[in-house]
Amino acid sequence: MKKRIVALISVLVITGIILAFLSCLVMPKYMSGIIEGSLTEEYYDDKAPHEVIFIGDCELYENVSTVELYREYGISSYIRGNSQQLIWQSYYLLEDVLRYEKPKVVVFNVLALKYNEPKSETYNRMTLDGMKWSMTKVNAIKASMTEDENFVEYVFPFLRFHSRWQELKASDWNYLMGKEPVSINGYYLRADVRPETGFPEPKSLTDPAFGSNAMMYLDKMADLCRENGIELILVKAPITYPYWYPEWDQQVSDYAQEKGLTYINYINEMDAMGLDMTTDTYDGGEHLNVYGAEKFADHIGAYLTENYDLTDYRNVPGVAAIWAEKESLYDSILQQQLSEIAQYGELMSFGKNAIEE
């Protein structure tokens, strides 16, 4: 009997190790091409304190240069953003932030208000898989799951991604035990340029009112910030497509007024910040490139510095040292992209069409 028990325990341990290894192997690495899946988890590795937290979708993580904010104003910030990040995900990511630190200002991009229910499993996974386990993550998953998703597959991601054994690439082996940062404090840098050439006419809205679920999470976010003494700023990033309807703008204005919050629609300030959509966007105007993101950072940085009591971390040696590394990473990513553009005429290791190893 003793022999059987030893064999059983040994096999259980070996099976656990094999499954853990396979799980690490088949999990998407998001190190090239679509890198957004890496953004959530990178937050936990950052050692610098953050007085400003940006929460939202691609309109923030591609449009605000965190390094520029530091360089120009000494603001230490982080963008907790992901592709099509839904408002309840933003709320739970904010709740997650509060488990580790208490920022002075939270900037939330309001475009996500247009979504009232879970949309896409792929985006859910990219946003949620990187979160550390806590009740916050459990609630975020529950709020985000589409009909054909199963909670078990979040607990054991191997069950979700096991079929990736058929599509393993060199990067799956290279980043098996650890990954390199792909963002600079949540900012996804793009140095290529593709000018805006116009957008389709906006479709008329059948129901201009934001959904009740979305508004409930905006309430929760406002309450959470108030309870923690955090200033919540609602913003609409300086991007005109997808279309931001005047009816939506009015609703957010009314809401901000009612709750005593600040709302800034930066579409109205694009000229003031000097945005030129022939040079400051990398995908025809849907997102800013690094040149546009720096302009937006300059603009919003000035506002934040003027209106909130933020520390100039350039004068805090411990933090400045951390940011020096970030600046170096920022510059090296920029340099790599510029080299690729010079060599190939386009980026080869970034974006949807990137060639993956």
Partner 1 sequence: MLFVSYEFIAFTILLFVLYYLLPKKCQWPLLLIASYVFYWIANPYYLIFIGTTTISAFAAGVLMDKAQGRADLAIKAAKEDGSYTSDLKKALKAKAKSSKWKILLVSMLFNLGILAVTKYTNFVITNINKFLEDGAALKAVDLIIPMGISFYTFQTVGYLIDTYRGTVKAERNPFKLALFVSFFPQLVQGPISRYGDLSKTLYGEHKFTEKTFTYGLVRILWGYFKKVVIADRIITAVTALIGDTETYTGAYVFIAMFFYAFELYCDFTGGIDITIGIAQCLGITVTENFNLPYFSKNIKEYWNRWHITMGSWFTDYIFYPLSVDKNMLRLSKWSREHLGKFWGKRLTVYLSAFIVWLATGVWHGAAWNFIVWGLMNFAVIMISQELDPLYLRFHKKFKVKDKAGYGVFEIIRTIFLMSLIRMFDCYRDVPMTFRMVGTMFTRFRLSTFTDGSLLQLGLGSSDYIVLAAGLLIILSVSIYKYRSKKDIRDRLYDTPWIWYGAMSFLLIITLLFGAYGHGYDATQFIYNQF
Interface ranges with partner 1 (CB under 8 A): 3-4, 6-8, 10-12, 14-15, 18-19, 22, 121, 148-150, 152-153, 158-160, 162-163, 165-166
Helix pair 87-97, 212-227: axis angle to 10 deg: 20
Shortest Å distance, C-beta 121 to partner 1: 6
Kindly tell me which of 159 and 209 has the beta carbon lying closer to partner 1. 159
The smaller minimum CB distance to partner 1, of residues 101 and 167, is found at 167
Angle 153-156-157 (CA atoms, 0-180°, nearest 5)?
Answer: 70
Regarding beta strands 52-56 and 262-265, do their DSSP bridges make them parallel or antiparallel, or are they unpaired? unpaired
Q: At 54, phi and psi to the nearest 5? A: -95, 130
Whether the bond between 242 and the residue before it is cis, its omega within 30 degrees of 0, is: yes
Query: Nearer Cβ to partner 1, position 48 or 128?
Result: 128
Assigned token pair, 48: 């610098």
Q: Closer to partner 1 by CB, 1 or 170: give it.
A: 1
CB-side neighbour CA atoms (13 Å) of 73: 25
Minimum CB separation of residue 269 from partner 1 in Å reads: 42
First-to-final CA distance of the chain: 50
Q: Are 266 and 236 in contact (CB under 8 A)?
A: yes
Smallest gap, in angstroms, from Cβ of residue 16 to partner 1?
Answer: 10
For the bound state, the minimum distance from the C-beta of residue 125 to partner 1, rounded and expressed in Å, comes to 9
How far is residue 24's CA from residue 178's CA, in Å, rounded to a whole number?
10
Q: How far is the CB of 34 from partner 1 (least distance, A)?
A: 17
C-beta closer to partner 1: residue 128 or 329: 128
Nearer to partner 1, 166 or 206 (CB): 166
Q: How far is the CB of 295 from partner 1 (least distance, A)?
A: 40
Q: How far is the CB of 151 from partner 1 (least distance, A)?
A: 9
- The Cα-based distances of 73 to 53, 294, 325 in angstroms read 15, 12, 17
Place of tokens 């979708």: 57
The amino acid sitting at 139 is: N
Of residues 8 and 176, the one with the C-beta less far from partner 1? 8
